[in-house]
Amino acid sequence: MNTPLRLSQEPVSPTIEAAAAHAEDISNAFRDLQIVLPPETIVRRDEPLARRTTLRVGGPADLFIEPSSDNALASALEIAHLRSIPLFLLGRGSNLLVRDGGIRGMVLSLAHPHFSRIELKGQRITAGAGARLKSIAHEARRAGLGGVEFFEGIPGCLGGALRMNAGAMGAWTFDTVEELRCMSPSGQILTLPAQEVPVEYRACPLLRTHIALGAVFRGRPDDAEVIRAKMEQFSKKRWTSQPNQPSAGCTFKNPQPTLPAGRLLDELGLKGARVGDAMVSDVHANFFVNLGQARASDILELIEQVRTRARELRGIELETEVEIVGEDA
């Protein structure tokens, strides 16, 4: 079994027969899940996803599961496999654009407290995939451990940060990871030393098929005051250089190390460009904000317009950094 955890970025248009067969698979899986999973596990149908993303757009998930244990997660994976249901792992939805038709398949969220623990022992910080990055940064600071200060202002959870090797303020998630704990598509738990896990700019390819359960970080002992000052400095930089309206963070990957996408779009005069309530932020041009009533289709249209401008005016092919999933309405 090797079900990818990421849905294709391209929406699919199923035939009527395929759509009917899918609806039946979903109904059967929903029934199986209710029988097999413990009562503490949340199992829902047609769960709206807009409120589970920071951009606040997108349609519902056919199935939404919040497992309460490793076993419950493994059982959900097994049912998805048996019923051939596509899987998608949702973090805090802070780097995600769900299309207006929502997600055809099973959306898994590790938001249950079982997956959100943070433990400190010596220089080691052990955190679950559902732990908030901000909480990890603050727990480490309290214990006088540096190295994860940059987590302070990232609005995501650890699982998402591991999957995309999230970075900010010149640091990357995997810089301080010592050990990764993950679940294979067949429900097997693996504990891997970080050296055995290849990572790239904004990606950890293993986590396209495996689910991150958590990680051990090796913190650097430091003066708690020094760590606090560093976090404050990061936070200040963020508040002055990034918008606070709903967004999914940076829309595009930086096309070159010396050419940040934000600067490029700014130079192209795109700040303030709008499609409906989707707008290129006038604070940081690589953030596309939702002014209130934007739909996913507005954001997608704005992304296309901006890519076209970058291509036509500078010959640069911009690649999205935000993860785009689901079906059109």
User: What is the contact surface with ligand EPU in residues (CB under 6 A)?
Assistant: 95, 168-169, 241, 249-250, 253-254, 260, 262-263, 266, 284-286, 321
Instruction: Please say which residue, 109 or 165, places its beta carbon nearer to ligand EPU.
Output: 165
Instruction: Please say which residue, 72 or 280, places its beta carbon nearer to ligand EPU.
Output: 280
Residue type, 200: E
Cα distances (Å, whole numbers) of residue 73 to 19, 31, 213: 26, 16, 10
Instruction: Please say which residue, 41 or 251, places its beta carbon nearer to ligand EPU.
Output: 251
For 197, list phi and psi in degrees, rounded to 5: -115, 105
Instruction: Please say which residue, 34 or 256, places its beta carbon nearer to ligand EPU.
Output: 256
- Name the residue with the smallest CB distance to ligand EPU: 249
Beta partners for residue 168, in sequence order: 171
Per DSSP bridges, beta strands 60-66 and 278-280 are: unpaired
Minimum separation from the CB atom of position 263 to ligand EPU (A): 4
How many helices, marked H, and strands, marked E, lie in the chain?
7, 18
288 neighbors 62 (Cβ within 8 angstroms): no
Minimum separation from the CB atom of position 38 to ligand EPU (A): 35
Per DSSP bridges, beta strands 96-98 and 323-325 are: parallel
206 neighbors 162 (Cβ within 8 angstroms): no
Instruction: Please say which residue, 68 or 95, places its beta carbon nearer to ligand EPU.
Output: 95
Task: Look up residue 92 and give its two tokens.
Answer: 């805090």
Sign of the dihedral defined by the CA atoms of residues 8, 9, 14, 19, in that order: positive
Minimum separation from the CB atom of position 58 to ligand EPU (A): 17
182 neighbors 70 (Cβ within 8 angstroms): no
Q: What is the longest distance spanned by two Cα atoms in the chain? A: 63
259: which DSSP letter?
B
Minimum separation from the CB atom of position 172 to ligand EPU (A): 10
Instruction: Please say which residue, 116 or 247, places its beta carbon nearer to ligand EPU.
Output: 247
Instruction: Please say which residue, 85 or 299, places its beta carbon nearer to ligand EPU.
Output: 299
- How far is 65 from 79, CA to CA, in rounded Å? 12
Instruction: Please say which residue, 33 or 279, places its beta carbon nearer to ligand EPU.
Output: 279
Minimum separation from the CB atom of position 168 to ligand EPU (A): 4
**Class of residue 37 by CB neighbours under 10 A (exposed 0-12, middle 13-18, buried 19+):** buried
> Which residues have C-beta within 8 Å of that of residue 236, sequence separation ≥ 6?
none
Minimum separation from the CB atom of position 294 to ligand EPU (A): 18
- How far is 10 from 297, CA to CA, in rounded Å? 13
Minimum separation from the CB atom of position 285 to ligand EPU (A): 4
Minimum separation from the CB atom of position 95 to ligand EPU (A): 6
